[in-house]
């Protein structure tokens, strides 16, 4: 079995019946400080997340080549936060468009787009928690505009609950008001909040070098 890490062959001996998880565990000590595996390919085919979960417990063929890529934890966290921040900037405009669709009576299309908006918000909520775990720092305790991120999260959850209730009740008036008056401003705030977190993380990492 041939195993590479970031393009260089790993100088280790792997058992013929080694599982992919076993390979990762053997190579993990070779990772530089602050890095983690970000991509796995077997015989030139990159493994998607669902495939990876299935393959971890299975033996790797003895004549296969496993190519591993690593990434910097801080860099990954900063990139993820900025990406979702950009998505929210665009989502703010889409939410105003949804309100217009509702006022025009195009309910089916409006509801479809509401679903897309809600997914973006769920991603924003998840990325704060996941990035905090990635860099081992509680981002929910960070301050933004005089409030903790946790407080901003609670407000976000409440707004999402209002959206869900309006959808369940098929109350297009309340849904339209939320999409036109409440959510765009919240999008703008979270766009700035996530960028602020990314800046803080990047600056803290630079200070440790």
- 138: pLDDT strictly greater than 90: yes
Instruction: Determine contact, residues 20/58, Cβ cutoff 8 Å.
Output: yes
CATH class belonging to 2-72: alpha beta
- 208: pLDDT strictly greater than 80: no
Query: Measured between alpha carbons, how far is residue 43 from residues 1, 6, 50, 64 in Å?
Result: 10, 15, 18, 6
Query: Measured between alpha carbons, how far is residue 46 from residues 50, 69, 163, 191 in Å?
Result: 12, 11, 38, 32
Q: For residues 128-133, give the mean pLDDT.
A: 94
Three-class SS of the chain: CEEEECCEECCCCCCCCCEHHHHHHHHHHHCCCCEEEEEEEECCEECCHHHHHHHCCCECCCCCEEEEEEEEHHHHHHHHHHHHHHHHHHHHHHHHHHHHHHHCCCHHHHHHHHHHHHHHHHHHHHHHHHHHHHHCCCHHHCEECCEEHHHHHHHHHHHHHHHHHHHHHCCHHHHHHHHHHHHHHHHHHHHHHHHHHHHHHHHHHHHHC
Q: What pLDDT, on the 0 to 100 scale, is given for residue 116?
A: 86
Q: Given pLDDT bands bounded at 50, 70 and 90, which one contains residue 96?
A: confident
**Tens-digit pLDDT profile for residues 39-66:** 999 999 999 988 998 999 999 999 999 9
Share of the chain above pLDDT 90, in %: 68
Q: Point out which residues pair with 148 in neighbouring strands.
A: 143
Domain range list for the chain: 2-72, 75-208
Q: What pLDDT, on the 0 to 100 scale, is given for residue 209?
A: 52
Q: Given pLDDT bands bounded at 50, 70 and 90, which one contains residue 103?
A: confident
**Tens-digit pLDDT profile for residues 198-207:** 999 999 988 7
Calculate the average pLDDT of the chain. Answer: 92
Separation of alpha carbons 65 and 53, rounded Å? 18
Q: What pLDDT, on the 0 to 100 scale, is given for residue 118?
A: 86
């Amino acid at each position: 079995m041939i195993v590479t890490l970031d393009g260089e062959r790993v100088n280790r001996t792997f058992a013929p019946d080694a599982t992919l998880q076993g390979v990762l565990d053997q190579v993990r000590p070779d990772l530089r400080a602050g890095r983690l595996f970000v991509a796995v390919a077997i015989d030139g085919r990159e493994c998607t997340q669902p495939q990876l979960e299935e393959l971890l417990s299975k033996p790797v063929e003895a004549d296969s080549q496993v190519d591993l890529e690593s990434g910097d934890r801080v860099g990954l966290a900063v990139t993820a936060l900025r990406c979702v921040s950009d998505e929210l900037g665009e989502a703010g405009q889409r939410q105003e468009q949804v309100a217009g669709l509702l006022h025009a009576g195009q309910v089916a299309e409006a509801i479809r787009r509401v679903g897309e908006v809600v997914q973006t918000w769920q991603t924003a909520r998840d990325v704060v928690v996941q990035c905090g775990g990635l860099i081992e720092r509680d981002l929910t305790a960070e301050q933004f505009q005089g409030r903790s991120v946790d407080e901003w999260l609670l407000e976000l959850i409440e707004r999402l609950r209002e959206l869900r209730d309006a959808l369940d009740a098929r109350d297009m008036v309340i849904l339209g008001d939320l999409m036109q008056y409440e959510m765009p401003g919240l999008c703008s705030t979270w766009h700035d909040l996530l960028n602020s977190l990314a800046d803080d993380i990047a600056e803290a990492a630079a200070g440790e070098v």
